[in-house]
Amino acid sequence: MTDELRKGLEGVLVAESELSRIDGDEGELVYRGYAIEDLAREASFEEVIYLLWHGHLPDGDELAAFEESMVAEREVDEDVLGTVGELAAADENPMAALRTAVSSLSAYDEDAAVPATDTDATLRKGRRITAKIPTILAAFVRMRDGQDPVEPREDLGHAANFLYMLNGEEPDDVLAETFDMALVLHADHGLNASTFAAMVTASTMSDIHSAVTSAIGTLKGPLHGGANQDVMEMLKEVDDSDRDPIAWVEKALGEGRRISGFGHRVYNVKDPRAKILGERSKELGEAAGTPKWYEYSTQIEEYMADEKGLAPNVDFYSASTYYQMGIPIDVYTPIFAMSRASGWIAHAIEYTEDNRLIRPRARYTGPEDQTFTPVDER
């Protein structure tokens, strides 16, 4: 047993996984052997969920059956929606609201009492969670804005249905395809903090609702989730200022501010997901006649690369992409959770199939040989 201290478990191997591979030096992301570029441009989010959960891409019949099973689970119990409404009225943080709502889903799940050792039941529960998160999130946003929730539609895919429930109108093909691509890009990313949190919870043989709730709480932290929201707020600051993007960044750095969306714990080069979303951000801006968000982003990217040697991560271009789709800024991180839930569930199941309780240790640095004094003598 080593006594080497590795803060943050950096570089420590704690598990083996067949789900995703990251090459931080080459800028590669692979899901079960498939390059992220191919999956983002060719596969639907439902296909990717199936790939992560079942180990292979579905054929036509398998995909149709899986899509049908997901659609059947979209509706959320009225009591859960009531709780969501109360949280919206209280102006709760969207991630906190999602965390609470997902946790409450177990009360209405017919498999709730089935042990975590039953993988089939865990997959059924995971499917329900994944299908219901968009319904919960869209309802929260609408109720917060004083509107009634929009019921899910059976004839729309996962991505298009969320946009429909959010805005009350069916999205065009470009928006639906772009959002579907974004979900694919965020579905899994190795043992990031929220995935590890889900695995720690699952390793106790707790239920998948608890594992996903743990992951949402972890993603809520600004050092993990939230960077895409910060990026968009930064771009809006640039737009509101009287400076060009480079002058704005130089001033911000001079004031000790951090430029959001740059650097990554794993990637030493440009995040491959940022490349793909950058293309989409450009296309959306050109189509809408508002190319400034993409132009601001590329100027900042070039400056940060030349002056700081930093490359953008996925959050940098997902921000302007979501903004141009009309999605509220504080919903960006919950959308991350909407996608990543598929990866959290996959990792939890994979780990518990050869389970060992995750229980690291800490080096004690406190006092020694203390003498106890009764309370009346202290």
Name the burial class of residue 108, with classes exposed (0-12), middle (13-18) and buried (19+) by CB atoms within 10 angstroms of its CB: middle
Instruction: Please give the Cα distance from 326 to 317 (Å, whole number).
Output: 15
Instruction: Please give the Cα distance from 223 to 229 (Å, whole number).
Output: 12
**Cβ distance 43 to 185 under 8 Å?**
no
**Cβ distance 310 to 263 under 8 Å?**
yes
Instruction: Please give the Cα distance from 287 to 339 (Å, whole number).
Output: 26
Residue 22 DSSP SS3: strand
Instruction: Please give the Cα distance from 177 to 250 (Å, whole number).
Output: 36
**Cβ distance 272 to 184 under 8 Å?**
no
Point out which residues pair with 312 in neighbouring strands: 262
From residue 43, how far is each of 66, 124, 129, 184 by CA, in Å? 14, 22, 21, 8
Tokens for 106, please give them. Answer: 């177990």
Instruction: Please give the Cα distance from 316 to 357 (Å, whole number).
Output: 36
Instruction: Please give the Cα distance from 233 to 4 (Å, whole number).
Output: 40
- Phi, then psi, of 29 in degrees rounded to 5: -135, 130
Sheet holding 34-35, edge to edge: 20-23, 28-31, 34-35
Tokens for 80, please give them. Answer: 């859960």
* Cβ neighbours of 272 (radius 10 Å): 22
Catalytic positions are 224, 264, 315
Helix residue ranges per DSSP H, the chain: 36-42, 45-54, 60-71, 78-89, 94-104, 119-144, 158-167, 173-186, 193-203, 208-219, 227-240, 245-254, 272-288, 292-308, 314-324, 332-352
